[in-house]
Amino acid sequence: MLDVLVLGKGPAGLAAAAALAERGLRVGVVGPPGPPRWTAQYGVWADELEAAGMPQVAGARWDTAAVGFGEGRSRVLERAYVRVDRDALARHLGERCERGGVRWIDGEAASAEHGAAGSSVVLRGGGTAEGRLVVDASGHRPALLRRGDNPPRGFQTAFGAVVPGPVPGVEPGSATLMDWDDAGLPPSPVPTFLYALPLPDGSVFVEETVLVGRPAVQFETLEARLRARLAARGVGLPPDGERERCWIPMGGPLPSPRERVAGFGAAAGMVHPATGYLLARTLADAPVLAAAVARALSAPGGTPAGAARAAWEALWPADRRRRHALFRFGMEVLLRLDGRDTRDFFAAFFQLPDADWRGYLGDGLATAELAGVMARFFARLPPRMQRGLASAAMGTDGLRLARELAAGR
């Protein structure tokens, strides 16, 4: 029997498997046959990739990132942004797995039976795989890990394509993190923004994005808005070529600490509830997961159930649970905003000191520090938005936040 079965061959699964194997554990990865094939593009702040110990997987890099708020308002952020070379990341994680002796198990988990000594995972199409502990890193629709439906999730959706450059308004040396200008665009149920990366070959990756919506905004709506946005700048969408359709559940409940399956990555709700970012945290927290599991499994009298609980406690200590609750409240606020308020919201947000907005976007602050950032941000908002935020704080979402902050849940 293996020590750990990891479900999923995405970045979260391979990062977890590599870190676990480097702790001397016998690890198996359950996933599709062949080398990993990732279609999603990953953009991260350069300093967060470096902090995760993987600067070598950075692809294209921009020394600044631009944010537009409409009506000629904008700000250039003096912070480097990179597009991860997904092939380099897959090779790097795969090589670490190979060096650690990870066993590759072709298949997809359908169910599991848990005993005192370990778990038996039933694979779709036949066969089983056994391990003392199962780590579900199978993505937004977890194979085995159970999460409830309350509080409800929001959804970040995006439609992207690569177009010939240049694109007016997209500076070659800067990533466009957000451009909220919606002048001349067709109606949308929620505000959308342009995310654009000018690539080294002269082309530009452009993406129309809903930061968070409920229900999820359809790709067809986003494609229509992207076409209109590009047409207004004299740029057409090529009839073929790269397309990206992105669907990211945000917020929602955390996994239960009583689950026998340990969760990791999107399966475990590790997506930032107010931004949609995930990759940097996944890469940084894989060693945290591995250390907790290795200690628990090697401890005298250590049990699989104890290892699953240790993994949960390492990934979701009380302070992080409180921060998650604050971010989730921020997500609910964003869901209330129309286009005008969204533009003013982010104009105020990026007027904060650099340490404040960086800490908020990257989840790098303790709860007390994060609360301080949110208070300073509130003071910068227009009065009409302050009234709306105060109303949210006194409603159902605010009451839930108060309970969770008190309980650390």
Pick one of 2.60.120, 2.20.25, 3.30.70, 2.60.40 as the CATH number of 153-250: 3.30.70
Q: How many CA atoms lie within 13 A of 47 on its CB side?
A: 10
Q: Regarding the domain with residue range 2-58+85-147+254-316, which homologous superfamily does it belong to in the CATH classification? A: FAD/NAD(P)-binding domain (3.50.50.60)
**Residue 196 pairs with which residues in a beta bridge?**
176, 206
**AA letter at 103:** R
Query: Under a CB-based contact definition with an 8 Å cutoff, are residues 70 and 183 in contact?
Result: yes
- Angstrom distances, CA of residue 173 to CA of 10, 63, 243: 30, 7, 23
- Angstrom distances, CA of residue 333 to CA of 4, 247, 273, 274, 408: 39, 20, 11, 9, 21
pLDDT value for 408: 58
Q: Which one-letter DSSP state was computed for residue 105?
A: E
Full-model pTM: 0.94
Q: Which one-letter DSSP state was computed for residue 217?
A: P
**Residue 27 pairs with which residues in a beta bridge?**
4
| pLDDT-flagged residues of the chain (< 50) | none
What tens digit of pLDDT does each residue of 170-189 get? 999 999 999 999 988 888 88
Omega before residue 215 within 30° of 0, cis:
yes
The tokens for 115 are 């005993």
Report the distance separating Cα 66 and Cα 171, nearest Å.
Answer: 9
Q: How many residues does the chain have?
A: 409
pLDDT value for 405: 86
Map out the domains of the chain as residue ranges.
Answer: 2-58+85-147+254-316, 153-250, 319-407
Q: Which secondary-structure segment (H or E) carries 57?
A: none
Non-local (6+) Cβ contacts of 187 within 8 A are none
Report the distance separating Cα 177 and Cα 213, nearest Å.
Answer: 18
